Structure 1
């Protein structure tokens, strides 16, 4: 709550009194800079002071007890409830002593009689600053302890996940105990394995790149609180718990964002494998092996995202298991440059639009509109590499009539504007 100024911590002071001469006297005749303080506001009553406190941090409030509107006692009640770290110093006349006592019961820090108050105010402010410093010291110590606890908790949680991935022998009771101790959910999850490949032989897989990718992934999948940890030397394992929330964060479009982001690092290439959904954390090793199978049997594939299916088919499960979905995807790929929508696709497949929409979402984890938009943006990326094509022409070529809408959609999915993407492509 203090403000850095000239290398010093300046404590923020507000003066509250209905008499202008008193406010000006306190502001003028006390060496506030010598106290490492600055006056940030002068208020004529408690209501004005409360309005200021609602939008601005103040360290110390010096207030009269009797004022029109809201008085010092009502101000003390507000500070105690809504700004408890703010120190309130009461200015009181002899006849206001009972009010001052009441204000102290409401958390006021000190009270000063109005007879020759300036030196008393200075001393009270010094005591208030000392109290603030002591509280800040205790808070820093508490925060440090909390940070250590959280860090250790995360490390123990990741170690537990790694043990499950590596199939370290654990009894069912041990697994149950550790899921409770480390606050692991592990019900209804996907496992994603990201392979980080070095393109430039002279480049080293630096820790800062992995940390950057990890932070990016945490942000993308924040709705499901992902657990992300390294596996061996060139893999990142991501466990997405509570798959019911993934309808708000579809996996494929989200992974495409990290692929686009990684294009800023031409020395590396990313590839991902996605397991089937699993219902218990005890199946994490199985989910991990599914991802490994994808990489092993698709070593030469140019696809950036590989899927595992129960039939060991590593193309998208929806395309191998459901003919209507396959037809819908084929129709999109053949007609993405036209003005098509859900009803057009449903007519081509021969299904009711609502039923097809639910089926597509269930099988692929994304809506038809999301799949269509994603496909159009991927095609747009290819066209953007041709410098002779105007942005408007590219938008029309992938099914967008409005170039502004195209640009906004592109940025939402790719994480950058079409122009930025083209510039990065040219550099690479």
Structure 2
């Protein structure tokens, strides 16, 4: 059984790895590990030192820099997964290049936090991960009670659990690029919820950072997850939805163009007109006259 921390919370074991001394000390000092039910079992400067710890004791969460000498964080993550199949990984990196993020995705990374780090951003990712581990443990413990004659299933919980996950797909979700017939990816439900969240706020000047904050991810990582799942960038999806709604209002209402722009979150008319023309090939006035 996992040990309990303050307030009776389960203590999950965390290994942090960074070749930068200041970053390593900062993570140790400024993150409230114990209050989140997390216990640091090692804080080391190299992938090799981290691997030695991984080989001799169980670790639930690996927080590692990506770019380190001798053994990179990506290489370390691969080895960690070989030793501990269910380990969760958070990458911290000064590299925003999609190549690194894509590799992180292939390693089932929980999050990808950019340096220079905002302590609150890393804390938010860790807190959400600890909550997820609690839910998985509760599901595993409840499974035998639900069906004593069946084998305990392997629980692979999605990154988020909200009531919206039980709703049938909306028209907007169905408009996402169709995937080949196969079992849904582990991020399908998360991205469906992101789409629904965005859909409810199309009247606002919403940004990827705001959406990422709402789902407790870094903007860079959520953007990569969105593109991986849908095949398009978050910004492309957002603009497409806003412009389609604007087009519908131009056809079906007598609202002035500036009023329509405001209703899809644009306060600056020239910017709205430019994006509308890039989408439809004509200005809003021309579009309305043509219809």
> TM class, shorter-chain normalised?
0.3 to 0.5
Give the greater-gyration-radius structure (CA).
1
TM-score (norm 1): 0.33
**Does 1 or 2 have the higher relative contact order (CA < 8 Å, sep 6+)?**
2
TM-score (norm 2): 0.47
**Could you say which structure has the higher strand fraction?**
1
